[in-house]
Amino acid sequence: MARPAAAILTGGATPALSPDDAARAIPASEDARRALRSWYAHLASERRASTATLANYHRDVTRFFEFLCEHLGGTPGLAELENLQTRDLRAFLTKRRDEGLKPRSLARTLSSLKSLFRFLERAGILTNTPVMAMRGPKLPHSLPKPLSENDARALIDEAQDAGRLPWQGARDTAILILLYGCGLRIAEALSLKRGDVPFASTLRVTGKGNKERIVPLLPVARDAVDTYLALCPHALSAEDPLFVGTRGGALGQRQVRASIENLRLRLGLPDSVTPHALRHSFATHLLAAGGDLRAIQELLGHASLSTTQIYTEVESQRLLDIYDKAHPRAKG
């Protein structure tokens, strides 16, 4: 039986839908479903999209087709998709905004739809210029919110004591050190296998789009993982996840987020403290210490340097804040 799309939104622990299941879950006519299956298969195999990306795209497109069923008064097919106008797309985005979607989520929704229509055009199935010309909402320019060095250290130190059992505290400590000490995404840390240990002086990481990169591994990170494995009560084979939960199954992103939320509350830290904030902290602290921007780009696995350059804005803002607080003439 096909699983609902929501079942794959669990941080990568659950496999993505198959192309057949993905197409069947979308209310569309038979010709449109065949095209949807090809699009989803293209994302999964040729684009090598992550499970989370597949889930987001599938959810956005499903919501769009559900809207079209009501908006057009029938199940949409390829002819209806080709004849859609800008006003139809605006009506959908307005509905999603009224349902509570923020500008960033609306922009992602539009990106998902354009991915579908771009594929349909390149495959010679149909062309819809109004959809492809549609502009997304303006997004507020927000900067990453890294932790201070002291707060990052306190968070890691607190993890050992916050665990219900010693091995869980050691596990959470090891994860936090990998996020902050190596700049890993949470999904990258949780994708590590037991067979990857013992670690060498570098770590091969598979990031977004299945792109591999090599990151240096601090001795403190290797020691933290070794400590966790020495205490872990579960017998793990080489193919098992390195980080496991209470019953020995793969640890999910939601559990890590909950652990960090608990640590944040224990330490009285702001709600901007998240797993990804530790990755931001890694980049920001390296840059503040004189790290080369190109090198930081490679360590983070960013495809474009412009993505990494946002950390220069964070550092500039930090220096301005220091100036405003400390310089005699800045006080009035």
Active site residue 323: no
- Digit-coded pLDDT (tens) for 29-83: 999 999 999 999 999 988 888 888 899 999 999 999 999 999 999 999 999 999 9
CB atoms within 10 A of CB 169: 20
Catalytic residue (choose from 208, 234, 257, 266): 208
- Digit-coded pLDDT (tens) for 50-60: 888 899 999 99
Contact residues for 326 (Cβ-Cβ < 8 A; gap 6+): none
Active site residue 279: yes
Active site residue 58: no
Residue 238 token pair: 């080489």
Rounded to the nearest 10°, the torsion over CA 222, 299, 10, 176 is 40
Q: What is the pLDDT of residue 136?
A: 77
Q: Is the pLDDT of residue 286 over 80?
A: yes
Catalytic residue (choose from 59, 193, 276, 318): 276
Q: What is the pLDDT of residue 78?
A: 96
Catalytic residue (choose from 37, 171, 222, 279): 279
CA dist., res. 272 & res. 320, Å (int): 20
**Average pLDDT over every residue of 279-300:** 87
Catalytic residue (choose from 37, 58, 171, 185): 185
CA dist., res. 63 & res. 31, Å (int): 18
Active site residue 325: no
Active site residue 208: yes
Which residue bears the tokens 């992550």?
Answer: 50
The model carries a pTM of 0.62
At 238 the three-state DSSP class reads: coil
Peptide bond into 103 cis (omega under 30): no
What is the DSSP track for 110-159?
HHHHHHHHHHHHHTTS---HHHHHPPPPPPP-----PPPHHHHHHHHHHH
- Digit-coded pLDDT (tens) for 211-270: 889 999 989 999 999 999 999 999 999 999 999 999 999 999 999 999 999 999 999 999
Q: Which residue has the higher pLDDT, 312 or 316?
A: 312
**Residue closest to 84 by CA, chosen among 32, 39, 33, 38:** 32
The secondary structure element, H or E, covering residue 215 is strand 212-216
pLDDT band at 6 (very low <50, low <70, confident <90, very high): very low
Active site residue 185: yes
